[in-house]
């Protein structure tokens, strides 16, 4: 299988890039793929805690790029899956500590050993963004159903296209189907219509994301997590499978409901 | 839709749902973003306009003005194109 470099980006901060990176990476590893996650948010390292790997960090991406250690030494092996690795961001350095040219070399090197290289992009459109997209084949744009987020997504899509990254797909995160139903949140059709971009998936607003982030266990590991299920389906789409879209109004089936009640009672 | 929502919508004076407002505001702001992000956009539109119009009439290319104008709820493409002469062939 030819390896793919995927950048997860958004423009606007806090819309779910890191959550998406952790969950898609873990879901692809669950499917037996070799995956490395790269945190390029220099100075605001987060992917390590979302993955629950913060205690294992010795070296970071800047150390590896500046030759303070070998690339292999900076890669942290996941606790759960053999084929899953994390290259953490540096916490104390500047965004300008790495260059797009270095990033391109780095992802190029990793292609030899991994099926998927997933790059978690920082918010904004400055150097951190340019670093993150430098070596990417595909882009996944994350947006929430809000005016400011969709607006920033539009800007990012323009910048991605201008830099030759034409293969962009959209994940709509934190969709609240109840609000959509009562007409107080833009629906998927509205957003796709406005951005004219291919939809990769829809992730509902879900408390299990918070719980799983607390634990450092991505939600895809939790069978009963609705958001986790959405991310598992997106991972299958990335693998080229045709998987029906979450429409936002999936009725909760009786079994799930029952399980939830039992869980609460525990 | 919950009964309460229906009632509150019924009694509130603005019946447009907030998602429709969001969508229209987004459309509006994006037309601007997209046009202003690339100054080449208006220029290349200008060049194409000149090319097409020149087939039908003579125009003053220097005096040609093409702009996006804001109105209350809409955006208009306004072009002011001084005509200096018509081609005879265009009428035939
Ligand atoms: N589907 C969801 N349901 C509930 N909470 C969510 C969901 N997705 C993300 N969150 C929460 O939103 C917050 C921001 O998410 P995350 O850190 O992934 O965003 P980000 O885009 O990486 O932010 P930044 O731009 O700061 O890097 C987190 O607290 C996360 O738990
Ligand atoms: Mg992040």
Contact at CB, A158 and B37, closer than 8 angstroms: yes
What CATH number does residue A129 fall under?
3.40.50.300
Q: Is B22 on the interface with A (CB under 8 A)?
A: yes
**pLDDT of B91:** 53
Is the CB of residue A39 less than 8 Å from the CB of residue A31? Answer: no
Report pLDDT for A266. Answer: 46
> Which residue's entry shows tokens 């950048």?
A7
**Minimum Cα–Cα distance from A158: chain B residue:** B34
User: Locate tokens 């447009």: which residue?
Assistant: B16
Q: Is the CB of A173 under 6 A from ligand 1?
A: yes
Residue A120, beta-bridge partner list: A8, A39
Q: What is the DSSP string of A128-172?
A: HHHHHHTT-SEEEEEE-SSHHHHHHHHHHHHHHHHTT---EEEEE
Mean pLDDT by 10 residues, chain A (266 residues): 94 97 98 98 96 97 95 97 97 84 97 98 96 97 98 96 94 97 95 96 97 97 96 97 73 55 56
Burial (Cβ within 10 Å: 0-12, 13-18, ≥19) of residue A149: buried
Domain that holds residue A85: 4-265
* Residue carrying the six token digits 């292999």: A72
Q: What is the pLDDT of residue A247?
A: 59
Cβ of A210 less than 6 Å from ligand 1 = yes
Is the Cβ pair A158, B34 closer than 8 Å?
yes
What number of CA atoms fall less than 13 Å from residue A197's CA on the CB side? 29
* Set of chain A residues whose Cβ sits within 8 Å of the Cβ of B27: 194
Residue A266 neighbours by CB under 8 Å, 6+ apart: none
| Distances from the Cα of A75 to the Cα of A65, A80, A117, A218, A253, angstroms | 12, 15, 12, 19, 41
Chain A residues with CB within 8 Å of chain B CB: 146-147, 150-151, 154-155, 158, 180-187, 190, 194
| Residue of B3, B12, B19, B35 best to disrupt the A interface, most CBs of A under 10 A | B19
Q: Which residues contact B72 (CB under 8 A, 6 or more apart)?
A: none
Tell me the ipTM for this assembly. Answer: 0.79
pLDDT band at B32 (very low <50, low <70, confident <90, very high): confident
Q: In this complex, do B22 and A146 lie within 8 Å of one another by their Cβ atoms?
A: yes
Mean confidence (pLDDT) of chain B: 79
Asked if residue B65 lies in contact with residue B80, where contact means CB atoms within 8 angstroms, the answer is: yes
For ligand 2, a single-atom ion, which residues have Cβ within 5 Å? A 17-18, 46
A12 CA closest ligand 1 atom index: 25
For residue A181, CA distances in Å to A12, A175, A221, B10 come to: 25, 11, 29, 16
User: CA-CA distances (angstroms) from residue A218 to A221, A246, B47?
Assistant: 6, 19, 53
Count up the domains in chain A and report the number. 1
Enumerate residues 6+ apart whose C-beta is below 8 A from B65: B78, B79, B80, B81
Q: Which ligand is nearest to the CA of A20?
A: 1
C-alpha span between A33 and B72 (Å, rounded): 53
Residue A261: the pLDDT is 59
> Is there a contact between B60 and B82 (Cβ–Cβ < 8 Å)?
yes
């Amino acid at each position: 299988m030819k390896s793919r470099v995927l950048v997860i980006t958004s423009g606007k901060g806090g819309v779910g890039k890191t959550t998406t990176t952790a969950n898609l990476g873990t879901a692809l590893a669950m499917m037996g793929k070799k995956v490395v996650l790269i945190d390029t948010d220099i100075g605001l390292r987060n992917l390590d805690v979302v993955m629950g790997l913060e205690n294992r960090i010795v070296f970071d991406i800047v150390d590896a790029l500046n030759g303070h250690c070998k690339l292999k030494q900076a890669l942290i092996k996941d606790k759960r899956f053999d084929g899953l690795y994390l290259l953490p961001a540096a916490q104390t350095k500047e965004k300008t500590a790495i260059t797009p040219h270095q990033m391109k070399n780095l992802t190029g090197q990793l292609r030899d050993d991994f099926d998927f290289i997933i790059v978690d992009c920082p918010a904004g459109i400055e150097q951190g963004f340019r670093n993150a997209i430098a070596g990417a084949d595909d882009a996944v744009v994350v947006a929430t159903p809000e005016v400011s987020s969709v607006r920033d997504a539009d800007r990012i899509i323009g910048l991605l296209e201008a830099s030759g990254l034409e293969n962009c797909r959209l994940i709509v995160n934190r969709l609240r189907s109840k609000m959509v139903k009562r007409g107080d949140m833009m629906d998927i059709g509205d957003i796709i219509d406005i951005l004219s971009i291919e939809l990769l998936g829809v992730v509902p607003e879900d408390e299990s994301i918070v719980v799983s982030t607390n634990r450092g266990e991505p939600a895809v590991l939790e069978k009963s997590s609705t958001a986790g299920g959405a991310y598992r389906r997106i991972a299958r789409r990335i693998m080229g499978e045709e998987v029906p879209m979450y429409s936002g109004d999936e009725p909760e089936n009786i079994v799930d409901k029952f399980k939830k009640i039992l869980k609460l009672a525990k | 839709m919950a009964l309460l929502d229906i009632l509150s919508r019924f009694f509130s004076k603005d019946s447009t749902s907030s998602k429709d407002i969001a969508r229209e505001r987004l459309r509006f702001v994006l037309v601007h973003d997209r046009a202003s992000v690339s100054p080449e956009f208006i220029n290349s539109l200008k060049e194409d306009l000149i090319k097409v119009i020149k087939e039908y009439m003579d125009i003053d290319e220097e005096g040609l003005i093409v702009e996006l104008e804001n109105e209350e709820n809409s955006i208009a493409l306004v072009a002011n194109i001084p005509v200096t002469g018509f081609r005879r062939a265009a009428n035939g």
